Amino acid sequence: MSGRSVDLTMWGDFCNREGSQLQEMVERGVFPVLGVKTGRVNDFNGKCVGTISSSQLLIDPDLSEAHTLRQWFDGGGRDASTQSISRDHTPAASRNEVRTTVAKIKDDGLGMGDKPDWVTVKASIIFFKSDNFCYTACPTKEGDRQCNKKVTKGTSGLWVCDKCDKEFPECDYRYLLQLQIQDHSGTTWVTAFQETAQELLGCSALELITYKENGDPRFAETMLSCLFKDYLLRLKVKEETYSDERRVKNTLVKVERFEPAAESRYLLDLLSRSVASY
């Protein structure tokens, strides 16, 4: 009713459950009201909503807000013009986005300064380290912040956090995902932490480790579903020290599925700027 629209991306089982139901309804000419609870809001290049493992999708919910929206839509709202808040129509180059290639991250010495470099690469994921993709984490909360330090199982059979000096019967599982990406110029390793890895894989670390431990085929299916597809990967590049050895670390901070139309706009704008500079 505000004259705005937003993109919603469904991940994992949501596609086969609510996604299939919604598709069938729309194909029949039925336009349901959709309520999204515990969705994740992303605001890179415009706002969009994505599902996470705890999300709930409510189709035609029995809520006063849904009834009001239905009356507006059926009363002429369906024909109203809307503007998407999910697409920033400003060309990428004018947003100071630094687009580079995998090879140039090393060739240009990125990440070697006092501050990290932030770049975007168009690349495919070609390999995951599936043995150690997550770690056991402390579930203790201090105010609004969770400890998240690594915990180990003690002799008592409980999980122990050395930082909090506490024991727990259950722990959390958080992503620490190592993946290899490739573009036309080469390959490199990238680390994806909790939120970004979950956005990429479409399920929580607990769900994925449960699949693996139970021999569930969904473990392999989840991993394979992301391979050899084009993405726009936003990377934080910074030199760090490991065991007295300094090396550059690439951290994945944002992942976007490749959209040919948006990429065409980016390339056309880049071309026009190049021509104008001569």
Give me the CATH number covering residue 148. 2.20.25
pLDDT band, very low/low/confident/very high, at 226 (cuts 50, 70, 90): very high
pTM of the model: 0.63
Give yes or no for residue 92 having a pLDDT over 50. Answer: no
Question: Are 176 and 133 in contact, with CB atoms under 8 Å apart?
Answer: yes
Residues 114 and 216 in one domain: yes
Helices 205-213 and 194-201: crossing angle in degrees, nearest 10, is: 60
Closest CA to 233 of 192, 172, 178: 192
pLDDT(145) > 80: no
pLDDT at residue number 173: 93
- Judge if 31 and 155 occupy the same domain: no
pLDDT band with cut points at 50, 70 and 90 for residue 44: low
Does 244 lie in the same domain as 120? yes
Confidence band for 234, pLDDT divided at 50, 70 and 90: very high
> Looking at the structure, do residues 114 and 205 belong to the same domain, yes or no?
yes
Is 190 within a domain? yes
Residue-wise pLDDT tens digits, 46-71: 788 989 888 999 999 999 999 999 99
Q: Is 70 exceeded by the pLDDT of residue 95?
A: no
CATH number at residue 201: 2.40.50.140
Give me the number of domains the chain comprises.
3
Whether 26 maps to a domain, the answer reads: yes
Co-location of 114 and 223 in the same domain: yes
In the chain, what percentage of residues exceed pLDDT 90? 49
pLDDT of residue 143: 66
Same domain, 152 and 30: no
More confident position, 276 or 133: 133
Helix or strand or coil: residue 158? coil
Domain that holds residue 271: 102-133+176-276
109 and 209 share one domain? yes
Residue 147 is predicted with a pLDDT of 86
Q: How far apart are CA 148 and CA 136, in angstroms?
A: 8
More confident residue, 143 or 40: 40
Whether residues 167 and 203 share a domain: the answer is no
